[in-house]
Amino acid sequence: MTFEIDDSFIDDQNRKARAWVDEDYEALARKLRRQNVDIEDLVKKAAAFHVAIPSWGVGTGGTRFARFAGEGEPRGIYEKLEDCGTIFKLVRSTPAVSLHIPWDKPDDASKLRAFAGTRGLSFDAMNSNTFQDQPGQTHSYKFGSLTHPDRLVREQAVAHNIECIEIGKTLGSKAHTVWIADGGNFPGQQHFQRALERYLESMREIYAALPDDWRVFIEHKFYEPAFYSTVINDWGTSYYCARELGPKAFCLVDLGHHAPNVNIEMIVARLIQFGKLAGFHFNDSKYGDDDLDAGSIKPFQLFLIFNELVDAELNSVANFNPAYMLDQSHNVTDPIESLMMSAVELVRSYVQAHLVDRDALNEAQEQCDPLLALATLKQAFTTDVAPILAVARERSGGAIDPLKTYRQSGYRRHKAKERPGQKGVTASGIV
């Protein structure tokens, strides 16, 4: 038997927080009523918001300099699912897990699915890995995978992606995300056009292997590990490829994969308008693909992104069914804590975006009143919706204060005993 946080423990902790939640909830309900907003509608919205946890996110991450292992880290996919189950239990907005293959390749996918089911978890998009060589692999990805000049390397990479889809079918997944590290470190290293042609050729084969009710997500990234050029460098290239591939191909936005200061919310709006938004890898960054916790550096940007998403939701835009996932690397925090708090930040932005007075915003836009337009957004962004989030969690069986409840439960201490011998283990990659 492994340690799990008991429902009754969560109830006890919640009882202690009752008084302030009730008081703050009532006060906020009154304030929102003045704005003609029913707080109960927002609680329902908050409870319905879901974001997937990446299987690789529950282990401690590292940088290219070092990795400092945490206590009681999960040692395999089953223990990772235990941690995902704990996150889900406390915050209630994370019912699905996204697997990276072969990092978390299951020996028996049906067995893994059944185990996940016992924790109330299901499986979200699959993720392939052709940015590393695996032991015993025939061809190297050192100079690329789906776009490699050598047909044999490309075939191997295509086969790997199809294998991911096969595993995903058994797990009940409905999407496959392809991020490739292909690119160049030196000017002249790659013929830009030929590389993109080869990408499309490979992706067509992967696309052909998709079941009817599946989608494929193209994830672009403008640099790293290739430092001069990447093949799928920006959303324009991603959009072009998604169009070329067909109706099951969409463009995924990872918040850390853009040049500094790029207007990401506008990219999101464009992809929504063109019916090609796949979804997100949420994280935050200051400099590059920092994979910091969502909402920790640029919370207003996160809100503005959700403002576009909620706008689309309210307008019932066609082909709008975004898949949400966190894609973060927790190098100095307990990954469970970071993932819980990040999920909470997403729900916060989502609820705040629902608070935007759309008629007022529209009016300000039509009247060319920039200041009033901004003030309308800021009014929503500066509203403290914490009581809504707390009540939504509690009503779905989660914790009013997930961080405190998690720490009080001693979960990590128990795992340190159950999962010994992990100290000092070095990472094989960036996560």
Task: Name the residues that contact ligand RM4, by CB under 6 A.
Answer: 100, 127, 179, 219, 221, 254, 281, 289, 327, 431
CA distances from 216 to 197, 234, 251, 313, 382 (A): 18, 17, 9, 21, 36
Min CB(230)–Mn ion separation in Å: 12
- Peptide bond before residue 54 is cis, with ω within 30 degrees of 0: no
Span near Mn ion by CB under 5 A; candidates 22-30, 320-328, 354-362, 405-413: 320-328
Does residue 324 contact residue 79 with C-beta atoms inside 8 Å?
A: no
Min CB(56)–ligand RM4 separation in Å: 7
Min CB(80)–ligand RM4 separation in Å: 15
Between 127 and 173, name the residue whose CB sits nearer to ligand RM4: 127
Min CB(74)–ligand RM4 separation in Å: 17
CA distances from 267 to 23, 198, 217, 251, 301 (A): 40, 26, 16, 10, 12
Only one residue has tokens 């990479």, namely 157
Return the one option of ligand RM4, Mn ion, none that residue 127 interacts with (CB less than 5 to 8 A, by type).
ligand RM4
Span near Mn ion by CB under 5 A; candidates 66-74, 259-267, 289-297, 339-347: 289-297
Min CB(54)–ligand RM4 separation in Å: 7
Between 397 and 429, name the residue whose CB sits nearer to Mn ion: 429
Span near Mn ion by CB under 5 A; candidates 119-127, 161-169, 287-295, 416-424: 287-295
Between 218 and 400, name the residue whose CB sits nearer to ligand RM4: 218
Min CB(395)–ligand RM4 separation in Å: 33
Between 47 and 226, name the residue whose CB sits nearer to ligand RM4: 226
If binding is defined by CB under 5 A, does position 284 make contact with Mn ion?
A: no
Between 14 and 296, name the residue whose CB sits nearer to ligand RM4: 296
If binding is defined by CB under 5 A, does position 119 make contact with Mn ion?
A: no
Does residue 94 contact residue 328 with C-beta atoms inside 8 Å?
A: no
Choice from 79, 83, 104, 289 touching Mn ion (CB under 5 A): 289
Q: How many whole angstroms from its chain centre is CA 406?
A: 22
If binding is defined by CB under 5 A, does position 293 make contact with Mn ion?
A: no
278 phi, psi to nearest 5 deg? -80, -45
Min CB(281)–ligand RM4 separation in Å: 5
Q: Tell me the C-alpha distance between 368 and 295, whole Å.
A: 30
If binding is defined by CB under 5 A, does position 254 make contact with Mn ion?
A: yes
Q: Tell me the C-alpha distance between 325 and 125, whole Å.
A: 9
Choice from 327, 345, 394, 401 touching Mn ion (CB under 5 A): 327
- Strands 183-184, 229-230: pairing is antiparallel
If one counts every other C-beta atom within 10 angstroms of the C-beta of residue 322, the result is: 17
Return the one option of Mn ion, ligand RM4, none that residue 431 interacts with (CB less than 5 to 8 A, by type).
ligand RM4
**Residues 188-204: b if buried by 16+ CB within 10 A, e if exposed:** eebeeeebbebbeebbe
Between 291 and 308, name the residue whose CB sits nearer to Mn ion: 291
DSSP state of 284: B
Q: Tell me the C-alpha distance between 113 and 406, whole Å.
A: 25
Between 124 and 289, name the residue whose CB sits nearer to Mn ion: 289
Number of residue whose CB is nearest ligand RM4: 179
Closest CA to 324 of 284, 278, 272, 292: 278
Min CB(280)–Mn ion separation in Å: 9
Between 293 and 401, name the residue whose CB sits nearer to ligand RM4: 293
Between 230 and 376, name the residue whose CB sits nearer to ligand RM4: 230
SS (H, E, C) 215-245: EEEEECCCCCCCCCEECCCCHHHHHHHHHHH
169 phi, psi to nearest 5 deg? -60, -45
Between 55 and 86, name the residue whose CB sits nearer to ligand RM4: 55
Return the one option of Mn ion, ligand RM4, none that residue 147 interacts with (CB less than 5 to 8 A, by type).
none
CB proximity list for 164: less than 8 A, separation 6 or greater: 101, 126, 127, 128, 176
Catalog residues that contact Mn ion under the rule CB under 5 A: 254, 281, 289, 327
